[in-house]
Chains A and B, each alone.
Chain A
Amino acid sequence: MIFIPEIFLAFSALLFILIGPFIRKNAYLLVTYLTLLTVIVAQFLVYKDIFHFESIFNNFFVIDSFGSFIKSLLLIGTAIVLYIFIIANKNTQLNRIEFPILILLSLTGMMLMVASNDILSLFLSMELQSLALYILVAFAREDRNSSEAGVKYFVLGSLSTCIFLFGSSLIYACFGTTNFSEISGAINQLNEIPLILIIGVVFILVSLSLKISAAPFHMWTPDVYQGAPTIITAYLSVVPKIASFAVIIRFLVFPFGEIIVDWGKIILILSITSMLVGSLGALQQKDLKRLFAYSTINHIGFMLIGLVPGSEDGIIAICIYLMLYLIMNIGVFVVILSLSRDNISVSSIKDLTGYFTNNPFMAVCMAVFMFSMAGIPPLSGFLGKLIVLNVAIDNNLIFLAIIGVISSVIAAYYYLRIIKVMFFDSSSDELDIKVNIETKILLAVLSFLNITILFYPKFFLDLSASITFSLFSVN
């Protein structure tokens, strides 16, 4: 049967809940290993059908290569986060079996989200992932910041849900159906686009923007990133972002591709504000996690450039950017996670002072990620910027490209600040030097990818081109 990965993940999660309590020693560790194994197996299941196309469960879900590609990114991201949890986590409050299980449940939700072909199924799977994430953010129970972040995330998430539901009711009022394929067919037959439909799309778009934290719907991001346990921030900043972005792409391009004139401008504004907020907001931040929240917003703004024209090239560019973003951001959070002083985790920029002197390897890796995020060649972040800008200029959006590059210059300032703190300043209050070998190997691999991807981009380009083709061939 074709729908195996999600079903497999859901059943595994239930199974782990059952067997968890019966393990005496280090239950969480064993369950995490099992979860990691499950994720890897699911990866193979996704690969098996990567070029398959089928719509299933009464058109509720669709299997296509775009979805499979995003799913495999999600699985890779989750696998790395679980691996970091095993090797580098210092927060003992997280050492419970519920932790990996919740991650698994949210992952299931996200994979269903990406495959949804109906507003109802999309809503249900989005709720599954959100609920799991609310709990994860507040997982460190004794930590007040974590609880606060959890509440904030929950309140704003619920708001987003309300807006989503309202939007979908408007769309349902228009067509009497919630299925993407049927909506797409109905739109083609309309002579005039009713205003109520556009309002409905805008509501759903706002709700999804809250999920990807595109400005001006980004307010929750810095607080939640800072308050959540670092490992959750790592997860939150990568995996749900990729899933929500994929949903935006599918939602806008497939059923509503016809009314691009209407949503194109909204995406344009979202993109510009995100880039500006992401670059200007980060300038004064003192906490690394907060800073990377703004950095995420900036990157999201950049990716949205690719969506403005709604063309196939743009989606290809976004897919590549998402891939590179995963590599860069996970790397950064691995470094942040391993920062500690006297075995207490720290995450302010000041703590990095003199990092190059006492831990040159980590500092160099961090510098690679920073330069890569700033989009300086020959590092891979440049490839993402290049391809996205290429799309913008191809579609005569030169002013957007110029705003993009200027925001990336402003953003370069705060990436450089981190390098400055690590390399140029010297400190007396040193961080713990001990970093285990697994972390180092993981960082070495990620840095290596960041350095070398620019030299063989053809593979990624061809891959993205072949998977996005499926998204457009349906119409």
Chain B
Amino acid sequence: MLNIPILPLLIIVPVVGLIFVLLSVEEDENYIQAKKSALWTSVINFLISLYIPFNFDKDVPHFQFVNSFSWLNSDNLKFSLGIDGISLPFILLSTLLIPLCIYSTWNIKTKRCKSYLSAFLILETFLVGAFSAIDLFSFYIFFESILIPMYLIIGIWGGDRRVYSAYKFFLYTFLGSVLMLVAIIFLYQEFGTTDIPSILNLSLPFYIQIWLWLAFFSSFAVKIPMWPFHTWLPDAHVEAPTEGSVILAGILLKLGGYGFIRFNLSMLPDASIFFTPFVFGLSLIAIVYTSLVAIVQNDMKKLIAYSSVAHMGFVTLGIFSATIQGLHGAIVQMISHGLISAALFFCIGSIYNRYETKEIANFGGLNSIMPKLAIFFLIFSLGAIGFPGTSGFIGEFLTLLAVFSHNTFVALISALGVIFAAAYMLNLYKKVFLGQPSKFIQKVKLDLRLNEMIIYSLLVFFIILFGIKPNYIIDFSTSSLDRIISLYPISIL
């Protein structure tokens, strides 16, 4: 293996690109030069990140591509980056979605375009950093930093109630994560190190694990989000600009699930077993309740936002089932939701750019005007329902399989979520695309542009690829997950 500092490179490249974006000359109102530099930067970053899966040793459960830099004090507080089978798919997801976001702004006039692009590039830095940090403090720093660009993206470029949503997003997540900070410092005091690989080998007494578990939970349950901590999500999604929603649903929510696997499940096994019924209960409520809420929404974005909460319910079920199928299911579900919800938000963005509304009631028969979009939207909807052949199916199937082996009742109720998903997605599709063309949609006659076609085709490609060959995700994580599973007895319910 060549000794390239691949992870620091992934983190630094967007910052370098940021400088180019800020220095670019404003040629016209469309800021083509700035957009080009941002797009090239993110594409290059994606290509660099492709180096990882081809050089990744699947059989090693430990962290690979490790880079450490001395930080607070040289012995045990380092700034370390590394990657294992759990974080690898998420890093690739981040580097994939950012260029798509930047490309989707191509033909659209955005106010303060340079700042907008810079926010996304800096977001990429922080996201890759958060997924690749293998030191608690470095993780916290990146995890928390994400709030800054995201707050600005929602607040500056968002919709009418953007200020309220931006506040809500920031303060909810901040309150959750400061408690995690206390837990992290406590772990540091307890073990004298914050290096995740070494902490994984240590164990704590049960009563301490409980408190630490709750502290980490407070952070990730808000982030993922679980019912009843989800109320920031619909607001943030609806008010954020299209690309902001894409990143929010596509990657930020996954930080919560990733955190659950990396911290709660791997470091605090006893507490995780203790709290499993609690998490299962919340997940079931999330799946059933938010699905029902999604059915009655009038706003497309809000519908997808609630469906995200329901889908994340499957993820938490899978994670805390603590079996190999469940964890595989959770990871596939997260990646697939990252692609599908991103795609759906892009689609809604396309509609919004043309009609300036997201009200479902205004639409009807849109397939007569935008047939190409109708086809793509159908594929993405089927993915969201969990139709066999799409990646959504694999995630839900594996999760249900794992839960079923534990507790039939839980599996039965969570399977309802799949039916509800079909109800609200197909209903949305019917109301927007089928039926008599409404008068409202006649005012714009413009199907997908080239850049939109490219983005959607790429997303369809990945959704179907992972639907047919989920091994591309699963194989990487098996050995890392095996190590976590070994902490748990066969059945925990």
Contact = CB atoms under 8 A, between A and B. Distances in A.
Interface of A: 356, 371, 376-378, 382, 386, 389-390, 393-394, 398, 401-402, 405-406, 408-409, 412-413, 416, 419-420, 423-425, 454, 457-458, 461
Interface stretch (B40-48, B178-186, B371-379): B178-186
A393 B182 contact: yes
B170 interface: yes
B152 A423 contact: yes
Interface of B: 70-74, 137, 140-142, 144-145, 147-148, 151-152, 155-156, 162-163, 166-167, 170-171, 174-175, 178-179, 181-182, 185-186, 188-189
Contacts of A376: 144-145, 147-148, 174
Given A376-B145, A405-B179, A394 B73 contact: no
B151 A390 contact: no
21 contacts: A371-B148, A376-B145, A376-B174, A378-B141, A389-B181, A393-B185, A402-B179, A405-B178, A405-B181, A405-B182, A406-B178, A409-B171, A409-B174, A409-B178, A419-B152, A420-B163, A420-B166, A424-B166, A457-B71, A457-B72, A461-B73
A304 to B, nearest CB: 18
Contacts of B167: 413, 416, 420
B148 A394 contact: no
A31 B411 CA distance: 81
Contacts of A377: 140-142, 144-145
Contacts of B175: 406, 409
Nearest to B179: A405
A419 B152 CA distance: 9
A412 B179 contact: no
Contacts of A458: 70-74
B141 A424 contact: no
Contacts of A454: 141
A389 B72 contact: no
B407 to A, nearest CB: 35
A94 B151 CA distance: 40
B40 to A, nearest CB: 24
A413 B155 contact: no
Nearest to A383: B72
B185 A390 contact: yes
Nearest to B180: A405
A398 B163 CA distance: 34
A416 B186 contact: no
B182 A389 contact: yes
A457 B78 CA distance: 11
A297 B163 CA distance: 27
A315 to B, nearest CB: 17
Nearest to A374: B174
Nearest to B181: A405
Contact of B182 (A401, A420, A424): A401
B77 to A, nearest CB: 9
A401 B185 contact: yes
Contacts of B148: 371, 376
Contacts of A412: 170-171, 174
A293 B167 CA distance: 23
Contacts of A405: 178-179, 181-182
A317 B151 CA distance: 30
A320 B137 CA distance: 18
A292 to B, nearest CB: 20
A389 B185 contact: yes
Most buried by A among B156, B174, B175: B174
B72 A461 contact: yes
A423 B155 contact: yes
B189 A394 contact: yes
Contacts of B70: 458
A271 to B, nearest CB: 16
B182 A402 contact: yes
A53 to B, nearest CB: 25
A457 B144 CA distance: 18
The 4 nearest A-B residue pairs measured at CB = A405-B178, A377-B141, A424-B155, A393-B185
A382 B181 CA distance: 11
Contact of A386 (B142, B147, B163, B185): B185
Contacts of B71: 457-458
B185 A378 contact: no
Contacts of B145: 376-378
Contacts of A461: 72-73
B78 to A, nearest CB: 11
B156 A423 contact: yes
B72 to A, nearest CB: 6
B170 A416 contact: yes
A461 B145 CA distance: 22
Contacts of B181: 386, 389, 405
Given A376-B148, A377-B144, A405-B182, A424 B162 contact: yes
A248 to B, nearest CB: 25
Contacts of B152: 419, 423
Nearest to B137: A386
A420 B167 CA distance: 9
A409 B156 CA distance: 22
Central interface residue in A356, A398, A408, A424, by most chain B CB within 10 Å = A424
Contacts of B174: 376, 409, 412
A409 B182 CA distance: 13
Contacts of A382: 141, 144
Given A377-B145, A408-B178, A416-B170, 20 more contacts: A376-B144, A376-B174, A377-B142, A377-B144, A382-B144, A386-B137, A393-B182, A393-B186, A402-B179, A405-B178, A406-B175, A409-B174, A413-B167, A413-B171, A420-B163, A424-B156, A424-B166, A458-B71, A461-B72, A461-B73
A375 to B, nearest CB: 9
A420 B155 CA distance: 7
A412 B170 CA distance: 9
Most buried by B among A377, A389, A412, A458: A377
